[in-house]
Chain A
Amino acid sequence: MVKSAFIGGALAFSLLSTSALAANLHPETGEKLADEQVFTYRILDEHSSLDPQIVEDVTGSELMRDLFEGLYNQDNDGNLEPGVATHHDLSEDKTVYTFHLRPEARWSDGKPVTAHDFVFAWQRAADPKTASPYAWFVELMSLKNAKKIVAGDMSPSDLGVKALDDHRFEVTLSAPLPYFPLMTTHATTFPSPQWAIEAHGDAWTKPENMVSNGAYVLAEHVPSERSVRVRNANYWNNEETIIEKVVTLVINDENAALTRYLAGELDRTEIPSGQYPSYKKSHPEEAVSFPRLCSYYYWFNHSDSGPEAFNDKRVRQALSFALDRNVITDRIMQGGQFPAYTFTPAVTAGFEVPEVPFGQMSQKERDAKAKDLLAEAGYGAENPLEFTIVYNTSEGHKKIAIAASQMWKQKLGAKVTLENLEWKTFLTRKRAQQFDVSRNGWCGDYNEASTFLDLMHSQSSYNDGKYVNEEVDKLLSEAKTAENPQANYTRIEEIIADEMPIIPIYHYTNVYMLRANLKNWPINNAEQNWYSRNLYKTAE
C-alpha cells in the first residue's frame, strides 16, 4: 500500500519534471536553468541526529528543514511564511494560538499531515522518556505545563497542545509570548510520524524507514561521510521545487573542503579565517561575506572566584576600551566581521544599535581613557593588573587572545597569561567560574534581541560570569510581555556599555565560497535558515 502510493507519486513527479525540463527556464525570473540540479555542500561534523525532536546542532537542523516542514517557514529575509499552517488566530488574552493547517499537506508515504502529528511531536519533545536535549525549547516556548512535564511531575498528555480537528492545531501558553510564532520554524516543533516511530523505534531515521513531510526525503546516509536527499513527490508544493538532489558531505578540515570546492566537488563551503581577502580577489563572484546572528565576547568572572580587580567597574572599562576591535576584525579575522560595542548584533530583527559612548570615541581616545581609568583604580607599573584568559583550542581564538593580551600589556602594562583548554574542559571550567576572563561566542536561537540579552539575567544558566544587576533583570522580565520591548533592550545595552560585564569584541559573518550559478541563497536571513527547495542552479 505504502509502496504503491510512493510509485504513484514518483510517476506524477516525473511527469511534472519533464514539463519543467522541457522549458528549462526559471518560472519567475526566466533564467536558463542548469540541466543538473544537484546541490552539494560541506558540513564540519556529522549531525547529532535526524530526529526533529532530538537534533541539537546547526547542521542537523539544516537537514531537518529540508526533510520536514513545521507550522511556519522563513523567507529569504527571515520573515515568517506559511508552512504546514496557512495562518493562525490568537485569543484575546494572547495565550491561545489556533493554527490552521493546509489540507493538501502530505507525508512522504502519502498520509495527510494533521494536527495530531503536531500534538504527538510536541508532546514527544517534552516527554522525559524521549530525553531530548532540546526539551528546554518547549519550556522556552512557554507551552502550558511544559516545565512540569519535563520534570516528570505531569504526563506529556497535559501539555498545552490540542488537535481541534485534523486541520486545526491549538496551542495554549502559560503566559503571552510576543515572538512565539517565530519559534515554530525551529526543528523541535516539526511534526513527526507516530506510526513510523512506533514501528521502527530509534531506527526510524534510517533512510529505508524514514517518513517525512518536507520538500525532500532521505535517500542515503553514510554516517560521517555523506547523506543524500531527493525530492519528496508527495510534498504539497513539490511543483515549485527546482533542486532535485542535495548532497551533504562531512569534511572535518576546512582547508581540505576549500580544496575540494576549488576542484569542483562542492557548491558551498566556508572560507577559513584570514583567507577571505585573497579569495575575494581571485574569485570575486564566489567569495561572499554577510552578517550572522552571533556575537564574540569575553566574560569577566564577577563571582568570588574571580580576581578582586574585576569588581571595580573602572578596571573592566579600561580593558574593554583598550581592546582595538578593528585590529581583530581587519587584521586577524579578515572576513568582513563587525567590530562590536554592543552585545546584540546589528543584524538582529527589530534591534536598533544604541549609540553607546565608547563606541563613538576613536581608538586613541579610548586608549587614553583606559589608561586614566586603570590608574584611578590603582593599577600601574608598580602594581600591574594580572589575570588569565582561557579559551578553547582553536587557531582563531588563540590569535585573538594573543592580540588582546598584547594590547593590554602595551597600553595598560597588564600581565596577561593565556590558557588554552580542550573543549569540554573549557566548558566545565567556565560553568564552575574557574576563570578570570573567558572567550565566548553566542548565536541567537531566534531572531530577537532577548536571545542575546537574556544571558545577562542574574538567573540565566548561561550567565557564566555571574553578573548581577537588578535593573537588567527587571528590564528583561518586562520585555517578555511588553508590546514593544525595544526600549528595554536599548537600555540594557547602555548598561552593558557602562558596567562592562563583558567585552563585546566582534559580530560574526558567514564567509562562504558559493558557486556563482547557485541562486537565491538567503544572505539576508540572519539566522541562515535556508531551504534547498528555494535554491536553483542556472546554466553557466
Chain B
Amino acid sequence: MLFYIIRRLAIALPTLTLLIVFSFLLMHMAPGGPFTAERELPPQVLANIEAKYGLDQPIYMQMLEYIYGLVAHFDFGPSFQYKDRAVNEIIATGFPVTLTYGTLSFIVAVLLGGLLGITAAIHRNSWLDYFAVGLSIGAQVLPNFVMGPILVLIFVLWLNLLPGGGWNGGQWQNLVLPVIALSTSYMASITRLTRSSMLEVLHSDFIRTARAKGLPKRVIIFKHALKPALLPLFSYLGPIFVSMITGSVVIDYYFSTGGIGIAFVNSALNRDYAVMMGVTILMGGLTILFNLLVDLAYAWIDPKIRY
C-alpha cells in the first residue's frame, strides 16, 4: 500500500510538470498579452512594464524562472492584472471561498442524491421512485445559470429573505443560494448513478443468497448491498469534488462570491499569465490528489482490490 502511494506520487510529479509546460506554452500562444489594452501603451512604457515582470526574457527562461520560483519558494509570482497583488494572495483569498461553498454543495449533493437514489432503487416503480427520478431529471435540465436567476427571483425579490449575492465573510445567508444552485445538477447525477448501481447490486446472486438466508431487509441493504453499489459512484465523486471546490464560474459570476472559479476565466481573458498558471496548477494538483484518495478508498470498499 505504502509503495503504491509512493509510486502514484512519483508519477504525479512528471504529470504536473507536463501540465505546467503545456499550459505555459499554450497561454503564450494566445494572441495579445497581459498589457494589450484599449489604450495602447507607448513602446517605452510597455518595455518598462515587461522588464519589471520579466516578460522581455525568452520564453524558456520565463518558464524556468517560473518553475524555480514555484519549487524553491512556493511562489506563483505577481499578478499582471492586479498590480499590487501576488498570485499566492489571490489564491489565498479566492480558494477558501470556493472551498467553502464547494464542500457544502458536495455534501448536500452526495447526501441528498445518495438517499434519493437508494430510496428509488429499493422502492422501484413506486411513487417514491418516480418522485426521485422526476426530481433528478428536473434538477438536471435546470442548469445553474438558469437556476441562479430563478432562485434570486424567488428568495430575493419576492420573499426578500436572502441577499442576492456577495460573500460577506461566508455568512450562512450568502451561502444558501450558491449551494442550492451548485449542488442540484450534481445531486441529479448522483441520484441516477446510485439508483442504477443499487438496482444492479440488488439483482445480483449474493443478495439473492442473503435474502434466501432470511436476513432482514435493512441488513441486506446497509450491510451487503450499499458498499458495492457505491463503487461506481466513488470514481465519479473524486473529480466532481475537485471541480466543486475549485469553484464554478457561473456561481462566482452570478452570485459575485469572489471565488477562484471566476479568477480562472478572467485570468485567461486578461492574459494574466501568472494567475492562470496558479489556478491551473492548483486544480491539477487537487485532481491528482483526489484521484489517489478515491483509488485508496476503493481498497477499503472492495476487498477484492488490493494494491
Q: Are B164 and A222 in contact (CB under 8 A)?
A: no
Which 3 pairs of residues, A with B, have the shortest CB-CB distance? A424-B32, A225-B258, A131-B52
| Total residues of chain B contacting the partner, CB 8 A | 54
Residues of the A chain whose Cβ atoms lie less than 8 Å from the Cβ of B163: 260, 263, 265
- Assuming the contacts A250-B258, A427-B32, asked whether A133 and B253 have C-beta atoms less than 8 A apart, the reply is no
Q: Are A428 and B262 in contact (CB under 8 A)?
A: no
A interface residues, Cβ below 8 angstroms from B: 45-46, 48-51, 54, 56, 128-129, 131-133, 135-136, 139, 150-152, 202-205, 222-226, 249-253, 255-256, 259-260, 262-263, 265, 422-425, 427-429, 431, 441, 461-462
Q: Are A48 and B31 in contact (CB under 8 A)?
A: no
Interface centre among B40, B53, B257 (most CB of A within 10 A): B40
CA A393 – CA B62 in complex, angstroms? 30
Q: Are B269 and A136 in contact (CB under 8 A)?
A: no
Per the 8 Å Cβ criterion, residues 70-85 of B in contact with A are: 78, 81-85
B51 interface residue (CB < 8 Å to A):
yes
B90 interface residue (CB < 8 Å to A):
yes
Residues of the A chain whose Cβ atoms lie less than 8 Å from the Cβ of B263: 224
Q: Are B258 and A224 in contact (CB under 8 A)?
A: yes
Which of B41-49, B192-200, B221-229 interfaces with chain A? Answer: B41-49
- A to B CB contacts below 8 Å, 29 in the list: A48-B82, A54-B83, A128-B48, A131-B49, A132-B45, A139-B42, A150-B45, A205-B84, A223-B85, A223-B93, A224-B94, A225-B166, A225-B167, A225-B256, A225-B258, A253-B254, A259-B149, A259-B156, A260-B163, A260-B164, A262-B157, A263-B156, A263-B163, A265-B163, A424-B30, A424-B33, A424-B270, A428-B31, A461-B42
Q: Select from chain B the residue with minimum beta-carbon distance to A423.
A: B269
Residues of the B chain whose Cβ atoms lie less than 8 Å from the Cβ of A204: 84
Q: Are B164 and A48 in contact (CB under 8 A)?
A: no
B38 interface residue (CB < 8 Å to A):
yes
CA A133 – CA B82 in complex, angstroms? 12
Residues of the B chain whose Cβ atoms lie less than 8 Å from the Cβ of A49: 82-84
Residues of the A chain whose Cβ atoms lie less than 8 Å from the Cβ of B164: 256, 259-260, 263, 265
Q: Are A250 and B40 in contact (CB under 8 A)?
A: no
- Assuming the contacts A136-B41, A425-B32, A428-B32, asked whether A131 and B51 have C-beta atoms less than 8 A apart, the reply is yes
CB contact between A54 and one of B37, B51, B78, B84 (< 8 Å): that residue: B84
CA A205 – CA B84 in complex, angstroms? 7
CB distance from B300 to the nearest CB of A (A): 39
CB distance from B225 to the nearest CB of A (A): 44
Q: Are B36 and A251 in contact (CB under 8 A)?
A: no
Per the 8 Å Cβ criterion, residues 89-118 of B in contact with A are: 89-90, 93-94
CB contact between B31 and one of A152, A223, A224, A425 (< 8 Å): that residue: A425
CA A48 – CA B156 in complex, angstroms? 31
- Assuming the contacts A49-B82, A135-B48, asked whether A251 and B41 have C-beta atoms less than 8 A apart, the reply is no
B57 interface residue (CB < 8 Å to A):
no
Q: Are A223 and B256 in contact (CB under 8 A)?
A: no
Q: Are B52 and A256 in contact (CB under 8 A)?
A: no
Q: Are A133 and B94 in contact (CB under 8 A)?
A: no
CA A131 – CA B85 in complex, angstroms? 15
Q: Are A424 and B269 in contact (CB under 8 A)?
A: yes
Q: Are A256 and B32 in contact (CB under 8 A)?
A: no
Q: Are A256 and B48 in contact (CB under 8 A)?
A: no
Residues of the A chain whose Cβ atoms lie less than 8 Å from the Cβ of B182: none
CA A87 – CA B84 in complex, angstroms? 33
CA A226 – CA B157 in complex, angstroms? 22
B255 interface residue (CB < 8 Å to A):
yes
CA A338 – CA B256 in complex, angstroms? 33
Q: Are B256 and A256 in contact (CB under 8 A)?
A: yes
CA A431 – CA B53 in complex, angstroms? 23
Q: Select from chain B the residue with minimum beta-carbon distance to A427.
A: B36
B290 interface residue (CB < 8 Å to A):
no
CB contact between A259 and one of B94, B157, B266 (< 8 Å): that residue: B157
Q: Are A223 and B90 in contact (CB under 8 A)?
A: yes
CB distance from B6 to the nearest CB of A (A): 38
Interface centre among B44, B263, B269 (most CB of A within 10 A): B44
CB distance from B120 to the nearest CB of A (A): 35
Q: Beyond A48-B83, A131-B49, A256-B148, list 13 extra A-B contacts (CB 8 Å).
A: A49-B84, A133-B49, A135-B45, A150-B44, A223-B82, A223-B93, A225-B258, A249-B256, A250-B256, A260-B156, A422-B269, A424-B30, A424-B269
Residues of the B chain whose Cβ atoms lie less than 8 Å from the Cβ of A45: 266
Residues of the B chain whose Cβ atoms lie less than 8 Å from the Cβ of A132: 45
CB distance from A124 to the nearest CB of B (A): 13
Q: Are B166 and A249 in contact (CB under 8 A)?
A: yes
Q: Select from chain A the residue with minimum beta-carbon distance to B258.
A: A225
CB distance from A197 to the nearest CB of B (A): 11
B160 interface residue (CB < 8 Å to A):
yes
Q: Select from chain B the residue with minimum beta-carbon distance to A460.
A: B40
Q: Are A203 and B84 in contact (CB under 8 A)?
A: yes
- Assuming the contacts A136-B45, A224-B263, A225-B166, asked whether A51 and B258 have C-beta atoms less than 8 A apart, the reply is no
Residues of the B chain whose Cβ atoms lie less than 8 Å from the Cβ of A150: 42, 44-45, 48
CA A135 – CA B82 in complex, angstroms? 17
> Interface 1/0s, chain B 153-167, versus A by CB < 8 A?
100110010011111
Residues of the A chain whose Cβ atoms lie less than 8 Å from the Cβ of B82: 46, 48-49, 223
Per the 8 Å Cβ criterion, residues 288-306 of B in contact with A are: none
Q: Are B257 and A225 in contact (CB under 8 A)?
A: yes
Q: Are A48 and B81 in contact (CB under 8 A)?
A: yes
CA A226 – CA B97 in complex, angstroms? 14
Q: Select from chain B the residue with minimum beta-carbon distance to A251.
A: B256
CA A222 – CA B257 in complex, angstroms? 11
Q: Select from chain B the residue with minimum beta-carbon distance to A464.
A: B40
CA A462 – CA B38 in complex, angstroms? 9
CA A249 – CA B195 in complex, angstroms? 43
- Assuming the contacts A222-B258, A256-B256, A262-B157, asked whether A131 and B48 have C-beta atoms less than 8 A apart, the reply is yes
CB distance from B83 to the nearest CB of A (A): 4
CB contact between B167 and one of A203, A222, A252, A422 (< 8 Å): that residue: A222
Interface centre among A48, A425, A461 (most CB of B within 10 A): A48
Q: Are A224 and B156 in contact (CB under 8 A)?
A: no
Residues of the A chain whose Cβ atoms lie less than 8 Å from the Cβ of B149: 255-256, 259
Residues of the B chain whose Cβ atoms lie less than 8 Å from the Cβ of A131: 48-49, 51-53
B202 interface residue (CB < 8 Å to A):
no
